[in-house]
Amino acid sequence: MFEKEIRRKSEELLETKTVDMVIGYTSGSLPFQARPVLISSPEDTEQLVWNHFSSPNLARYLLPYRDSSKKIALLAKGCDARAVMVLIQEKQFPRERVHIIGLPCPGMISKTKLEKELGEIKEEDFSFEKDTFLWQGKKWEIFPFLEDTCSRCRYPNPPLYDELIGEKRELWGSSSTDYLEKINGQSEEERWQFWEEELSRCIRCYACRNACPLCYCKECFAESDLPRWVSGVPTLSDNLFFHLGRSMHLAGRCVECGACERACPEEIKIGLLPLKVEMIIKDNFSFEAGLSLEEDAPLLTYRETDPGEFIK
Amino acid sequence: MKNNWEPKIVAFLCHWCSYAGADLAGISRIQYPPNIRVIRVPCSGAVNPLYILKALREGADGVLVSGCHPGDCHYLSGNYFARRKFFILHELLQWVGIEKDRVQFSWVSASEGQKFSQVVEETVEKVKKLGPAKKLVKEFTFHV
């Protein structure tokens, strides 16, 4: 893909001291994985990789440097760039200290789906091209193997960048509403059954919260002692409380990157809750997070004509 | 047993309108069901959605949030902000399969003692139809 260009660009940025650090991806410790890496010397840029497994949201890794004076270059897919925009807007990171290298996202592939469909797989047998890959002499479409969160992607192209590497790409054709429609059409009891089954699997490891670039509270309400909102025990009611509370905290801020859902060890469709909230906001308050630096967040403003029929 | 069941409803009333409305209902001797437990809050905008979830988790069968009519907020716009938050929460709760009448909202002004009693009657009636809350109620308590 554009690995060489990314390495060259990062090297150049570090050598000219335009930035002090590059946040990117390097190969993970297991095959079909990439992990975040922080690079501050030009010779280390060889470690950088960019492939269909570079899924963690790197905006998350900006936050520890909020109070430093470092200037940071960040590799950003559509969702990473949107998350950075929200962080800038919420004054969690100054615009002038982040250099966004925009990367139109080729779609992140789920290792689980590959293994399920193809059985035992080795990394070296795969060669990826645009939207397809070669495996055992056969050409496969990428789309069915995409992470759920990526197949419903609405913004593969970064809305904010200092430079763009690669060509802007089209949507996959399946929209985020497809996932929600399935549940929207169900009866109250069916919806409850779905969420009861999903959320009773939650072990409250908080991986979803920790992967989220926008869950940056120093003390999370889930772990607060005074007031104690919720117990740490993973019972259904506490799990539901945590996830509903988290979705409400992300209202008008979630950028649908799906980092929470990909981080979940129990494979709970946890990204759907904040996504639903985003869709409620989009439909009723015509706002989408991370697309503009000027527009007010929906819960920090109001209109006199907001829906109010539900109030007696 | 079931016939004698009376719902417990937590009512968050804003200090400037609904709480005064409830007061007026009281001094005017207007009758309304005794199922509500009133919590006075400075403004409906001060009601954190977590309060509502917490009330349900702690065993309330229903929650009523009431504030000033739009345009009449003592703090000028608190209820407009509240309306957005409540709208999102209300839709989200329904979407995960929690009955929509568990959480109800109303605007009651300080002069609407009669309306307050009607709102409470209506709220209680709707919650009674749903029966005791089971979803979201905590399963057990830890003593620390």
Distance to chain B for A171, nearest Cα, Å? 27
- Which chain A residue's Cα is nearest to B91? A280
Do B10 and B55 form a contact (C-beta atoms < 8 A)?
yes
Q: Do B54 and A229 touch (CB under 8 A)?
A: yes
Distance to chain A for B15, nearest Cα, Å? 18
| DSSP E strands, B26-123 | 36-41, 62-67, 103-107
Into which CATH architecture does domain B2-130 fall? 3-Layer(aba) Sandwich (3.40)
What is the rounded distance in angstroms from the CA atom of residue B83 to the CA atom of residue B45? 8
Q: What is the pLDDT of residues A49-87, one digit of tens each?
A: 999 999 999 999 999 999 999 999 999 999 999 999 999
Angle at B52 between CA A92 and CA B14, to 5 degrees: 95
Q: What is the pLDDT of residues A210-253, one digit of tens each?
A: 999 999 999 999 999 888 999 888 999 999 999 999 999 999 99
Backbone angles phi, psi at B64, to 5 degrees: -120, 130
Q: What is the pLDDT of residues B108-117, one digit of tens each?
A: 999 999 999 9
Distance to chain A for B25, nearest Cα, Å? 17
Q: Cα dihedral sign for A75, A77, A78, A79? A: negative
- Which chain A residue's Cα is nearest to B90? A310
Q: Do A304 and B139 touch (CB under 8 A)?
A: no
Residue of A236, A244, A307 lying closest to B92 (CB–CB): A244
Predicted pLDDT of residue B142: 56
Find residues 104-123 of chain A whose CB sits inside 8 Å of chain B: none
Predicted pLDDT of residue A176: 57
Asked if the model's pLDDT at residue A33 lies above 70, the reply is yes
Q: What is the mean pLDDT of chain A?
A: 91
- ipTM for the assembly: 0.93
Interface check for A201 against chain B (CB to CB < 8 A): the answer is: no
**Percentage above 90 pLDDT, chain A:** 71
Contacts for B122 with CB less than 8 Å, ≥ 6 apart: A312
Do A81 and A87 form a contact (C-beta atoms < 8 A)?
no
Report domain extents, chain A.
3-164, 176-296
Mutation target to probe the A interface, by most A beta carbons within 10 A, among B36, B54, B87, B130 is B87
Count CB-CB contacts under 10 A for residue A96: 8
Q: Do A248 and B90 touch (CB under 8 A)?
A: no
Q: What is the pLDDT of residues B55-102, one digit of tens each?
A: 999 999 999 999 999 999 999 999 999 999 999 999 999 999 999 999
Q: What is the pLDDT of residues A77-101, one digit of tens each?
A: 999 999 999 999 999 999 999 999 9
Count CB-CB contacts under 10 A for residue A286: 10
